[in-house]
Amino acid sequence: MKAAIPPSPLSGKGGDDGSAAGAASICLVDVPLGRPGGDIRLVCGVDEAGRGPLAGPVYAAAVILDPARPIDGLADSKKLSEPRRERLALEIRDRAAAFGIAFASVEEIDRLNILQATLLAMRRAVEALAVQPDEALIDGNRCPVLAMPARAIVRGDATVPAISAASILAKTARDAEMRRIHEVCPQYALDRHKGYDTAAHRAALQLYGPASFHRRSFAPVRALLEGGA
């Protein structure tokens, strides 16, 4: 019997796969400092986490940094140790002018494809900002459809501080969600590999079969569901 996944702490009304329904899938956050003073042009950085895994939602974050409260050590989240990422995530939440965190569910990934679901999560993250930015800087080579101008920057997570901050928030939020799912279904060891396509994850899939939080549109999961190896 498949375990029911409790609602995510980031969502409103949860489903069996840890997703939320409708607008509840957008995480609304506070603006700790309000709009930075004067006529300062507001630019947000946007990045995602979790495009490649076989399980779990894809997350995105949008961050408007406050130049009066700089954050040292911002970098691509993939280049940081887990403890360092977690410490920086707390600093970003405390010091940023605004931030938004959102996700697209496993169901949306399977229905739309991972690229479109990622762009959807990015749009939700920007829309979750309580202050609308004048421009959005997006990591990668594709931009979601937004209400303001957007610019894609390849390797922006390593070169643009606001995008680095967004990558850290998206990664730590998704990691927390995967640890939460692990508490219900520990047999998949999601706390260790976070749903990525590792040998340990493949072995667990072979032994226990796909769960509701696995992405059925991804080839290794689809092959198991169709009776393949």
Model confidence over 127-170: pLDDT tens digits?
Answer: 999 899 999 999 999 999 999 999 999 999 999 999 999 999 99
Whether 66 and 33 have beta carbons less than 8 Å apart is answered as yes
Whether 24 and 103 have beta carbons less than 8 Å apart is answered as no
Q: Which helix (H) or strand (E) holds 46?
A: strand 43-49
Whether 8 and 180 have beta carbons less than 8 Å apart is answered as yes
Residue-wise pLDDT for 190-208, tens only, equals 999 999 999 999 999 999 9
pLDDT at 67 over 90: yes
Domains in the chain: ranges and CATH: 22-179 (3.30.420.10)
The pLDDT of residue 183 = 97
